[in-house]
Structure 1
Amino acid sequence: RVQGARKDMELGYTDRIRLWVDGDARVKRVTEEGRELIARETLADSINVGPEGLTGQEEEVNLNGLPARLRVERA
């Protein structure tokens, strides 16, 4: 999902991002547990978990069957 958002934003292969993820406790736990891998794979300088920083312009997504909200912006 994040890579799709990067493409939609026309970000280059090496462009860094900031990422916000919100969802239920399972989404938050998995995001926290995979923080380093997610950052490495998506070139995220920061990963924020929870509703803080969400602006209402997030994308509603399905992460492995779990509803979540994602926000991606260029770092």
Structure 2
Amino acid sequence: MPDDLDYEWFGWLIEHPAEWSRDDLATAEALLASQRLAVDDRHPKDRAGRESAQAVVDALESAIQQHRAAHG
């Protein structure tokens, strides 16, 4: 179960993609792959769970795109 520091770190990751290191980018990409699987693994009737997991996917995709735009 994630603790408060995990949520704080994830919030920083999403909000500051221009400041990422190479390791941060690799971590974000690994998290994205994991979250995509989490969306797929949700029961089709678990609409709230699927939407919540998809929101994380969307946030990670956006942050990765922002990082790449900032670092060419």
Q: Report the TM-score when normalising by structure 1.
A: 0.31
Structure ID, larger Rg: 2
Q: Which has the higher helix share?
A: 2
Q: Which has the higher strand share?
A: 1
